[in-house]
Chains A and B, each alone.
Chain A
Amino acid sequence: MSWEAASLGLHPGQKATDAMALVPELVTAEAEPEADAAALTALADWCVRFSPAVAADGADGLFLDVTGVDHLWDGEDRMLDDFRGRLAANGLPFRCAIADTPGAAWALAHFGEDGAIASAGGQAALLAPLPPAAMRLSTETWAQIERLGLRQVGQLLSIPRAPFARRFGRAALARLDQALGREKEALTFRRPPNPWFARLAFAEPISVPEDMARVTFDVAAKLCARLETEGRGARRFEIAFHRVDGRALPLAIGLSLPGRDAKRIAKLFAPKLETVDPGFGIEVVTLVAHDVEPISGRQARLDSGREATVEEGLAPLVDRLINRLGEERVWRAVPVESHVPELAVGRARPLAAPPQARAWDRETPRPTRLFRRPEPVEAVLALTPDDPPTQFRWRGQLHRVRRAEGPERIGEEWWKGAIEDVRIGHIRDYYRVEDEAGARFWLFRAGLYGDPAIPPKWWMHGLFG
């Protein structure tokens, strides 16, 4: 409902026909709760520029926890002015207020003077003249209070606690206590408030790539200084560039070991900065650290040439490579307990702790190169069905086998799938063979001889070199 409609005496919950009778030229539209919710979420995201802790309140309200944030604007009044100015520039109708507790702020925003700021501990005086509805009471309680002729919050507050609770219920008393700060109220923040947050605002919007690289370092230095004083490091950093048009462009990097080296973090962000479209300019940049954990000791400089540690050398290298090539392109091979050769090798993050799987067997020969897909082998000659081949053709070349070892029979992992899917053709007999030139191959025969319907096939699976 627009301001204009409200000024003509319409109110939410009114029947459409009654409203049409009052204002014949009324323009009505279908309610779109999903779109409203989406818009509120977008607004909540936008509000992160003011405070990292934003909670949605019902379908049309937002709570911002601005504790410890207002100094960035030199005071709550300046911050509220900025907030109001920006919301107004976006053409949104709104009311807002700042108070010690969510309850008091809600009451002031809905029923008090728009833009009210309650001084610390001074909300009781501001709440007193408001109607009891400002206390977020249930409809029944509210109706009962109205019936008793209580018209102001001040009157409610003067009632002794015990009779009040008996008459209106504990929930109503809790609401009063929450508004006055005598009881804590839990808010569901859209993101859990992260204390590891840094923010830089610029007098003039920036858009030059060099400036963006510089502010990335500046904001990282700001956050890292705090991490350093608390002896902590973080594994993941998320930077967000807030554009003049209200869009926030996020970027994220990960570290393999918790770190707090601003230079290194800025360097990891550097190649990704070109993906950020500054549009008409960026006015605010925020940086959040995730997975913060304590780290011991000061990080030494990289070029000190002293004793090599993982923290100084390998971890930054792995981070550089992962952030440049992608996580799936940098790995350490780890054993997986499986007999199927291609499944026996897993990939782990290079500096993660090794998994608790049984190590590979050194005595079972495995090739140096294992083909991801076995390649077909033709013209295989074998003396008897279970003998290794005496000659075969692979990639158009005929190889005569000089020495051979095998078979090593490897069955499929029938216990993992449906029993009906188990086929004799899935059995592989592996042979390690050496041709006359000395080249060593690992080939297998899939299936067994005997069933004329499914002749066994030969495949090349790897090379020993």
Chain B
Amino acid sequence: MSDFRGQTPREGGLGALRAKIAAIEAGGRADSESLPFGDGRIDGRLPGGGLPLGRWHEIGGTGMETETAAAPAAFTALMAAPLARRGEVVWVLRRDDLCAPGLLGLGFPPDRLIQVCARDEAEALSVMEDALSTVGVAAVVGEVEAADLTAGRRLQLACEKRSATGFLILRRPYGGPARREATGSAAATRWRVCSAPSEPPAGEFGLGSPRFRVELERCRGGRTGAWLMEATDAYCWEMTDVAHPLRLVAELGDRQLAPALPLRLAG
């Protein structure tokens, strides 16, 4: 059953209704798992207290990163790293520029990664679907331009088959025309990720651990938010044994709390 802590008792009726809807959305599978980030400030916003598993998630970049998608790829690898302990991870590419030693540096085990280079968008999506419904695959990452509602629904059905988790990195082909953003989507969450200036420990030179500005733009059954996160163990020989390789540094301005524009009624 989805957890709705933080609801006041008088919202109990509403909570029950929400739980019912969540159960319907999960396709009768009420025991949907989630992967907590290990920090209440972000887990509290997500349904079930963590990143919902057995669903698929959209991760996009900003500016030039919509073409290169380096920060979204790094963020996805960090999110998928705990899942790589459960099974294989399949990464479906359109351009084979993913660098496995780089993923290892972030803490993602490349020996659990199968890379597939698809020839076109449709093929990438169908390979993702195929991989998601395969026994022994814990997570599938796909790099595509966009997934429309039909493709998204198909991905969702594939995820539900074996409770595998999908990550869709939105990436435009180099030099391709900007397509309009998909308005609706069947994704459980939508994230927008860009790199943020790192902070090396006092007295040290060079770069600090990689930091990301992470914005949760859409979240089914949860609330949106924005955070500053850090991959503390990146490029370290010793990995501190924490549940999640991403650490929350600070909460950024909540868009929901931002002053809403006054409504102007016509007529």
Q: Which residues of A contact B (CB under 8 A)?
A: 302, 308-310, 312-314, 316-318, 320-321, 325, 329-333, 335, 341, 344-345, 350, 354, 359-372, 395, 397, 402-405, 432, 434, 436-440, 462-465
Interface Cβ pair total, 8 Å cutoff: 176
Q: Mark B136-163, 1 if CB is under 8 A from A, else 0.
A: 1100000000000000000000000000
Main secondary structure of the interface of A (DSSP, over half): mixed
Assess whether B105 is interfacial by the CB under 8 Å rule: yes
On whether the beta carbons of A440 and B210 are closer than 8 Å, the reply is yes
What 3 A-B pairs are tightest by C-beta distance, nearest first?
Answer: A313-B135, A465-B70, A333-B100
Interface centre among B75, B115, B213, B236 (most CB of A within 10 A): B115
Q: Roughly how many angstroms separate A439 CA and B198 CA in the complex, as a whole number?
A: 9
Please give me the residue from chain A that is nearest to B87 by CB atom.
A308
A308 to B87 Cα, complex, angstroms = 9
Smallest CB gap from A394: residue in B: B64
Min distance, Cβ A370 to any Cβ of chain B, angstroms? 4
- Minimum CB distance partner of B97 in chain A: A369
> Chain B 91-110 against A: per-residue CB contact (8 Å), 1 yes, 0 no?
00000111111111110001
- Residues of chain B in range 164-216 having any CB-CB distance to chain A below 8 Å: 194-198, 200, 205-208, 210-213
Of the residues B116, B130, B136, B205, contact of A329 by C-beta under 8 Å: B116
Interface positions of B (Cβ within 8 A of A): 64-65, 68-75, 77, 87-88, 90, 96-106, 110-111, 113-119, 123, 127, 130-131, 134-137, 194-198, 200, 205-208, 210-213, 234-237
Q: A397-B64, A462-B102 provided; 4 other pairs, C-beta below 8 A? A: A325-B116, A332-B113, A360-B104, A438-B196
User: Which residue from chain B places its CB closest to the CB of A328 in the assembled complex?
Assistant: B117
Contact of B136 with A314 in the complex, beta carbons under 8 Å: yes
Asked if residues B97 and A362 are in contact (CB atoms below 8 Å), the reply is no
Which chain A residue has the least Cβ–Cβ distance from B237? A363
Q: Which residues of A contact B137 (CB under 8 A)?
A: 313-314, 317
- Give complex CA distance A318, B137 in Å: 11
Taking CB atoms, residues of chain A closer than 8 Å to B64 are: 395, 397
Q: Is the CB of A368 within 8 A of B135?
A: no
* CB–CB B105/A366 < 8 A: yes
Closest Cβ–Cβ distance, residue B112 to chain A (whole Å): 9
Which of A366, A367, A403 interacts with B207 by CB under 8 Å? A403
Given A368-B73, A369-B70, A464-B74, verify A313-B136 contact (CB < 8 Å).
Answer: yes
